[in-house]
Amino acid sequence: MVYGIGNPLIDVVIRVDDNDLSRLGLDKGIMHLVDEERQACILETLAGRERTLRPGGSAPNTLLALAGLGVDAVISGKIGNDDFGRSYNDQVAEYGITSRLVMGDGITGSSVILVTPDGERTMNTHLGMCQRFTRADLDEPLLERADFLYFTGYMWDTQAQKDAILRAMEICSAAGAKIVFDVADPFAVERYRDDFLELIEHRVDVVFANRREAQILYRTADGAAPRDAAALLGRHVGIAVLKAGKDGSYTAHDGTVDHTPGRPLPVVDTTGAGDMFAAGFLAGLATDRSPAECARMAGLLAEEVIAQIGAQFPVHRIRALKSELVG
């Protein structure tokens, strides 16, 4: 069973162009933490554009896909007692996941995701109730039964969430579960580099990062070979995966680095590519596949999601992919 902790967010997906990003003063391709006022300003500026609303959040995306693939998965996080929160709960139930979402007195977190014609996504996230998730919201007896604990670097943005993750790691490590960490975002790495290095070197068993994130972690030069970056990541963990976009991925394990090539597919929207990569890899781990097979499954799922709008597959689509991925 995979017990995942993350920020459940309603995704508001809007198609824009580079001029829109410039007008809004946004750096392209990253996640911006914004307050409610700034988020409202962005939405007002883009009034009239078509919007798509879907359940999201990085770790929740991964966990919902895992459940759709037939893997026993638990989603843990905090939502608000509002329309967005109730909608989130209803949509999550369709995936057959075990929900440990806690409803608090406040607004559900949301992310305005601006997608440019090249498929890049620029996220503007207001955490809402997510940031009030605490150790008290953990289901500790269920954590003790988990085979894997999964979380992302986004959880370091508030002390309460960080404390909850550290407690969950303590429980799962004592019970013999594997700890899986996705560093998640270049800006998160810049904010919490020392903490993330400590996690990778001493606390986790599996780590995911992309080239830019690895570069910031290890302060390597631009253009460093992805194979070398994967080897750096893999010095202290059982499995380290370097995501290399169109070049596929590099998986370090047992003193070796394997390359899994990407497929040349059209890119519609890169939102959720990393989340689906993690889902595919975790699905492989949960079904006792080799690291190379896990990487193949991860790449296939990530490539499928960038060919559509949005970070999550509809329930019918992820179940159709199940036979191709896990049999």
What is the residue type of 53? Answer: L
Beta-sheet pairing, 239-243 with 206-210: parallel
Q: What is the pLDDT of residue 196?
A: 97
Q: What is the pLDDT of residue 150?
A: 98
Give me the count of residues in the chain.
327
Of the listed ranges 54-58, 210-214, 241-245, the least confidently predicted one is: 54-58
When pLDDT is cut at 50, 70 and 90, the band that residue 5 belongs to is very high
Q: What confidence tens digit (pLDDT) does each residue in 84-137 have?
A: 898 888 888 889 999 999 999 999 999 899 989 988 889 899 989 999 999 999
Q: What is the pLDDT of residue 26?
A: 93
Q: What confidence tens digit (pLDDT) does each residue in 102-116 have?
A: 999 999 999 899 989
For residue 243, report the phi and psi dihedrals to the nearest 5 degrees. -85, 125
Q: What confidence tens digit (pLDDT) does each residue in 7-17 have?
A: 999 888 899 99
d(C-alpha 39, C-alpha 233), whole Å: 35
Domains for the chain: give ranges and CATH numbers.
2-8+58-107+128-325 (3.40.1190.20)
118 near 267, Cβ under 8 Å?
yes
C-alpha of 318 from chain center: 17
Per DSSP, helices labelled H in 35-158 are: 36-45, 58-68, 83-93, 140-144
| pLDDT score of 222 more than 80 | no
Question: Encoding tokens for residue 262?
Answer: 């990407």
Percent of the chain with pLDDT over 70: 98
Q: Which of 131, 87, 123, 137 is nearest to 106 (CA)?
A: 131
When pLDDT is cut at 50, 70 and 90, the band that residue 56 belongs to is confident
Q: What is the pLDDT of residue 171?
A: 98
Q: What is the pLDDT of residue 54?
A: 79
Q: What is the pLDDT of residue 327?
A: 61
Q: What confidence tens digit (pLDDT) does each residue in 228-286 have?
A: 999 999 999 999 999 998 899 999 999 999 999 988 777 777 778 899 999 999 999 99
Calculate mean pLDDT across residues 303-321: 79
Supply the mean pLDDT for the chain.
91
Q: What is the pLDDT of residue 323?
A: 77
Q: What is the pLDDT of residue 51?
A: 87
Calculate mean pLDDT across residues 189-218: 95
d(C-alpha 139, C-alpha 232), whole Å: 34
For the chain, give percent helix, strand, coil, nearest 5: 45, 25, 30
Percent of the chain with pLDDT over 90: 69
**pTM of the predicted protein model:** 0.88
